[in-house]
Amino acid sequence: MSTETKLERPQSLTTTAKTHIREAIVAGEFSFGSQLSESVLANRLGVSKTPVREALLQLKHEGLVDVQPQSGTFVFQPTDDQVREICRFREVIETAALRFAVLRDSAALVRRLEETLTADDEVGAAGGSAAENAATHPQNHHDAAFHGAILDCSGNPYLQASYRLISDKINALRSRLDKDDTKTDLCHQTHSTIVALIRGGDIAEASKELSIHIRSTEESYIRASQCARGDAASHIVRQRRAGASTDRRAP
């Protein structure tokens, strides 16, 4: 084994650990505010604590975990105000990206967005109620694909980098939406309206619809984060009553 290969290995384990922890946070497997134990995560991933520690540090810089000295490492827990700030930031970035994408290649943007709508239709055709579909999150996936396509088509790396500051947090909030949220169908309908407006050349109205759409999700996301916070708080209380050790408190 070459020295070069040896040097690459720890980085690869850190990346793997980071991907795994990020996905578990985004998917809701690790609740908002829940404690993350290096040793539990290391056992679960079959690695030493070093890459886990490095992965947690990197996720801290991305705002997905919160390191509290003397207390431990916790999954981020957005306040109501932070959720609002995320949504307002998102509105600014996405509407700017939409304008750039139209100027760059409007037909390509429409094609990309239509692909995500077709995927939505296929989910519906595959069977299951809206609530069942929401339970397995395919609609959430397609919602992320629709909004991500606008950023991709903008062709502006600075806007794309700005969006990445919040995209995992948006996905984390999205995956915690109420399973019976009837806005799933409405979301598909709004996406179709936005695509039709772009196709028809009414970009001002398309941008307005996109703004309204993002604002309409704000209260749903706040409710989702409040429920998730409640889950985490009751989880910690249960663990403390059970006299769990620090490691056993971790997910």
Contact footprint for Zn ion (CB under 5 A): 143, 187
Kindly state the smallest distance separating residue 127's Cβ from Zn ion, in Å.
Answer: 22
Token readout for 191 is 């996406």
CB of 162 to Zn ion, least distance (A): 18
Of 75 and 214, which CB lies nearer to Zn ion in the complex structure?
Answer: 214
Q: How far is the CB of 219 from Zn ion (least distance, A)?
A: 15
Nearer to Zn ion, 87 or 187 (CB): 187
Say if CB 194 and CB 206 are below 8 A apart: yes
| Choice between 129 and 189, CB closer to Zn ion | 189
**Residue 25 or residue 150: which is nearer to Zn ion going by CB?**
150
Cα separation, 173 vs 168, in Å, equals 9
Instruction: Render 184-243 in DSSP notation, one character per residue.
Output: HHHHHHHHHHHHHHHHTT-HHHHHHHHHHHHHHHHHHHHHHHHHHHHHHHHHHHHHHHTT
**Nearest distance from residue 74's CB to Zn ion, in Å?**
29
Residue nearest to Zn ion (CB): 143
Can you tell me which residue has the tokens 């395919």? 138
- Which uninterrupted H or E stretch holds 145? helix 138-154
Per the structure block, which two tokens stand in for 170? 């948006």
Nearer to Zn ion, 13 or 102 (CB): 102
Tell me the closest approach of the beta carbon of residue 72 to Zn ion, in angstroms: 35
The CB density around residue 121, as the number of other CB atoms within 10 Å, is: 12
CA distance 184 to 134: 8
